[in-house]
Amino acid sequence: MDQVLKALAPQTRARGDGFIFIRECNAAMRYRPHFLTICQWNEFAGQPIDHGYGPQHNNYVDCYNLHLNNDIEPTSLTACAYRGCGGWGFYYMNLTRACINLYHQKVPRTTVLAIGSPDRNAAVTGLTLHVRWACIGKQPRSFTVLIDGKKMAGGIKNSARAYTLKLTGLKPGRHELALRAIGAVSLFRLSYSHVARRLHPAIPAAARVTFFVR
């Protein structure tokens, strides 16, 4: 991901698994416009790294990959949730539905949460992991961070929206980072592979992302 971003414009940012989307929606919740327009390109070609246009082959157009595009999935209701077989999945469509439901609540009763760092399936090196997140709706009392189901930190203040974890003792390989919003609930599971149905009753607000320790 870092290699790709260096080849693009200096202001380029990956969308962070809904992190940027929720930050934009927070502005809508604050100003409460009568109409909202959500833009997406709906283009899927892209170019592999070092195969772009221009003399240095570093000018990229359309959607580069899952993280560097602004499409709202899915491209197909029957294709699997990967670009190679026809679709980007359902996550952003589910996220959009959850935020629209929240927008129609006169008083926010639910919470939508997304982890912006680390990126999904990111390769992590070093002794620490910087966790960053965004939430919208009813504000949780605090946050709890877990890795592979084990509590790593709790009681994180609502205003922080970030925490640095020590990775000491964490074995190389795949791990799951989970973030729980204490005192908050959600009406939708933000699945990548399935259409989210409104839940009755609501579930505790949480977000998850996988990463790899090198």
Residue 53 has a pLDDT of: 78
**In the chain, alpha helices (H):** 2-7, 19-31, 91-103
Cα gap 49→47, rounded to integer Å: 6
Spans of all domains in the chain: 2-213
pTM for this entry: 0.81
What interhelical angle do 91-103 and 19-31 show, nearest 10? Answer: 20
User: What's the CATH architecture for 2-213?
Assistant: Sandwich (2.60)
Give pLDDT, residue 64.
61
Q: Tens-digit pLDDT profile for the chain (214 aa)? A: 555 555 566 666 677 788 989 988 999 999 989 888 887 766 555 566 677 778 888 776 666 666 677 777 666 666 665 555 556 678 888 999 999 999 999 999 999 999 999 988 899 999 999 999 999 999 999 999 999 999 999 999 877 789 999 998 899 999 999 999 999 999 999 988 888 999 999 999 999 999 999 9
Identify the pLDDT of residue 3.
Answer: 52
Would you state the pLDDT for residue 34? Answer: 87
Helix (H) or strand (E) holding 159: none
